[in-house]
């Protein structure tokens, strides 16, 4: 069992909808082998739930601080948890 694996939930606020944030997050995640999903929330934020190695999740977290070129991130809330193995790929919801 890989003790380095974890789950990361990010709530990204700011100008993050309608700027390709979810699709760009999926590209970042898929390129690094991270699984999970990205979805728009009704409050205007984007939620990312991802699983993988802590190193890869940290890379995704750092990318999410700025996101794609048209995004403007004002706040990120992060929550680390135990790896559950719930996902087989990374999806945009």
Q: Vertex 17, ends 50 and 87: CA angle to 5°?
A: 20
pLDDT in tens, 32-84: 999 999 999 999 999 999 999 999 999 999 999 999 999 999 999 999 999 99
pLDDT at 1: 47
* CATH number of the domain bearing residue 33: 3.30.70.100
**Band of residue 3 on the pLDDT scale cut at 50, 70, 90:** confident
- The catalytic site residues sit at 22, 40
Q: What are phi and psi of 68, to 5 degrees?
A: -75, 170
**Overall number of domains in the chain:** 1
Domain that holds residue 37: 5-92
Beta strand residue intervals within 5-92, DSSP E: 5-15, 35-40, 46-53, 72-82, 90-92
Q: What are phi and psi of 82, to 5 degrees?
A: -70, 145
């Amino acid at each position: 069992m890989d003790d380095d694996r974890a789950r990361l939930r990010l709530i990204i606020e700011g100008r993050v909808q309608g700027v390709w944030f979810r699709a760009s997050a999926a590209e970042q995640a898929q390129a690094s082998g991270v699984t999970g999903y990205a979805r728009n929330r009704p409050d205007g934020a984007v939620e990312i739930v991802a699983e993988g190695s802590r190193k890869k999740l940290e890379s995704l977290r750092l990318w999410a601080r700025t996101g794609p070129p048209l995004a403007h991130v004002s706040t990120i809330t992060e929550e680390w948890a135990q790896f559950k193995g719930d996902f087989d790929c990374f999806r945009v919801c």
